[in-house]
Amino acid sequence: MSIEQKSLRVPDLDLLRFVAAAAVVLYHYVTCYLLPDSPANSFVQVASVVTRYGYLGVDLFFIISGFVILWSSLSRSAADFVISRSARLFPSFWTGMALTALFTFALRDHAPLVEVAPLDARTLAANATMLPVLFGAHMIDGVYWTLEIEIRFYAVIFLLLVLRQMKFIDAWLWAWLACAALGTQFELPWIVKYLTLQPYGPFFVAGCAFYLILARGVSVGRCAVVLCACALCLLESVQQREQFITPDAISGFVVPAVIVSYFAIFFLIATRCTSGISSKVAYQLGALTYPLYLIHAVIGRLVYEVIKPHLGLAGSLAVMCVLAAALAYAIAATVDVRGRKAIDRLLRGLFSSAGLIAPAPASALPEKDATVR
């Protein structure tokens, strides 16, 4: 029986997801929020030498997503894929969005320097779709930009499922890389750029290729896909530095080294060399990842502006981290599984009524999966 047919977990993926989320949180809290207020030679200045690269956690998320979404989609119909993704993402997202709106409403007058989105009905409704950009609305939290990239990736997988192209996935990965390579030299039609997730497509392609190596074995073609994707990812990561940090000589060395380390780690995972981390510990960390990512940024910034005159930099950082972890745990413990079951049940009923899927057994429950985001 191939790994595609088994219900297996890779604890290392949960651990990597948590590391990626923690890196992004520390990048925002230390490098973006505290650093401008810190005196020379302070602990913040020292910590920022490392945390300034935390934004690369997003690139790691994209590789992980390519890996696990391809894994989960190969054994599903297009309708099942839509149900699974919707049930997994929206309950925690809506809760995180509501908490962000609540903190924004409560604290925005006490933190006038923080730019926040308007909380009118149109903005809230547009953000609830997870694609506010399609409606010309402001994002309630800037981190939602990555969710739009994820949704576009899901749309690509959905199209491949509908068109029954998954058996040709190796060929489609090459086509995707070809578009990504052309996009570095030429202006492509907007629909091509949109569907190939330019410029982040190679990160997803790499994740897909690593999963295929795990599931179907090492081949020259798949290794070539990984190497080509790595080259394009390195090019993109070096070019995107100026969007997040100062593109100095040190970052010109560190950023490519981090990207290469991602590929090395995934090659070990794909060839079944695991870290040996406890699956229970990994599951708990993985369960915190998505809600932590959703609620840390705007809430953390607002809280920081309110408390920094009273607690200083170290105290403010501690409060922000504890608050983010507590909110993430609360969402994971109270909303995630229950909300997933409710959305899954609702959508299966609607899809079944429309004749898109067979009626589910009464005892059927959605997958328990913290690996797939």
Q: First vs last Cα of the chain: how many Å apart?
A: 25
Residue type, 124: L
- pLDDT of 274 reads 76
pTM: 0.93
Q: How far is CA 158 from the centre of its chain?
A: 18
Q: Which of 93, 44, 22 is nearest to 304 (CA)?
A: 44
- pLDDT of 4 reads 46
| Residue-wise pLDDT tens digits, 96-115 | 999 999 999 999 999 998 99
Q: What are the structure tokens assigned to 31, written together?
A: 């490098």
Q: Which of 361, 305, 295, 306 is nearest to 329 (CA)?
A: 295
- pLDDT of 8 reads 56
Please give the DSSP secondary-structure letter assigned to residue 276: -
- pLDDT of 138 reads 95
Given a cut of 70, the residues of the chain with pLDDT beneath it are 1-8, 360-373
* Non-local CB neighbours of 42 within 8 Å, separated by 6+ positions: 313
Separation of alpha carbons 23 and 42, rounded Å: 20
Separation of alpha carbons 267 and 189, rounded Å: 33
Separation of alpha carbons 21 and 56, rounded Å: 10
**Cis amide linkage into residue 199, ω under 30° from 0:** yes
- pLDDT of 278 reads 82
DSSP3 helix / strand / coil % (the chain, rounded to 5):
75, 0, 25
- pLDDT of 156 reads 97
Q: Over 39-55, what HEC string results?
A: CCCCHHHHHHHHHCCHH
Residue 358: strand, helix, or coil: coil
Separation of alpha carbons 369 and 298, rounded Å: 27
- pLDDT of 361 reads 59
- pLDDT of 89 reads 96
Q: Which of 69, 83, 97, 78 is nearest to 342 (CA)?
A: 83
Residue whose entry in the numeric block shows the structure tokens 């030299």: 185
